[in-house]
Amino acid sequence: MDFEPYRGELVAYCYRMLGSFHEAEDLVQETMLRAWKARERYDPTRASVRTWLYRIATNVCLTALEGRGRRPLPSGLCAPSDDPGAPLTPASDIPWLEPFPDARYDVEVRADLRLALIAAMQVLPPRQRAVLVLREVLEFSAAEVAAQLETSVPAVNSALQRARAALARAGGAGEVTEPDDPEVSAVVQRYVRAFEAADVPALVRLLTDDAVLEMPPVPLWYRGSGDYGRFMGRVFAMRGVGWRIAPLTANGQPALAAYAPEPGGGHRFHTVQVLTVTGGRVARNVVFADPRVLEVFGAVG
């Protein structure tokens, strides 16, 4: 019995549930191990291998989530800062939301991995989260989900209604254009050129008026192109000019690997930046500096 073809979609599922790519990979490994040990008890007349694996993965995720708080972004914790010179002190005690590296797995559906949606889903109770993903993303039937969660079809339908309502209140249901959309690609290319040139006015012209900049694990964030621009001016003053940028995708969104100039020459992998582009402008930039995130994205300093 070969479970390996399902690994990528299971990692994406566990990531949606946990908000952590590292934990998702670990939980899928546990799922595979449990499935292998139980393979003799698998009954193909009751469920497909895929449905059976998702039942195991769901139980693994729900167990992992017991007693845990959500994985937030800074914008989900506090009001925006109005001080572009505020201390950049990491909060290592907060389990921050992590980005999903698209290149690591062949995930066919990417829009439902977008950061804003994953962050919004974190406010849902774990079982509601599971129902929402299983029903709306993975398109299992209500009866299949009821079997996976050992509950009734009416309970699944009720949980789905509550999850949809909570997600709408959290603002996670908005659409994001794809990174290979020509307009999006053009905006990102202009952003990269402005960044590499340390041209703050050019960067600001590419932003929406209420653009958001946040930088986990630093628990502060900025709203508005003015503060965004002032903070970028601070970055270039602190880290120098001559940055190098490489394009990526993460969570089905355009992303950048940013390399800061080193005093003695060369560059150091500094951040992964996940962009939200809407209406020909950058509306949000989530900048990840955690070394574990940088390692996942496969770049070296």
Q: What is the pLDDT of residues 142-179, one digit of tens each?
A: 999 999 999 999 999 999 999 999 888 876 555 556 67
Q: What is the pLDDT of residues 246-286, one digit of tens each?
A: 999 999 999 999 999 998 889 999 999 999 999 999 999 99
Q: What is the pLDDT of residues 110-124, one digit of tens each?
A: 558 899 999 999 999
Question: Could you give the domains of the chain?
Answer: 4-89+107-170 (1.20.140.160), 182-296 (3.10.450.50)
The whole-number average pLDDT for the span 88-107 is: 90
- Where on the phi/psi map is residue 34: left (φ > 0), alpha (ψ -120 to 50), or beta? alpha
- Where on the phi/psi map is residue 262: left (φ > 0), alpha (ψ -120 to 50), or beta? beta
E strands, the chain, are 207-215, 218-223, 244-250, 253-261, 267-278, 281-288
pLDDT at 300: 41
pLDDT range class, residue 109, cuts 50, 70, 90: low
The yes-or-no verdict on residue 65 having pLDDT over 80 is yes
The whole-number average pLDDT for the span 6-30 is: 95
pLDDT range class, residue 56, cuts 50, 70, 90: very high
The yes-or-no verdict on residue 54 having pLDDT over 80 is yes
pLDDT at 176: 56
List for the chain the helix, strand, coil content (%; round to 5): 50, 15, 35
Question: Token pair 């490994």 is at which residue?
Answer: 29
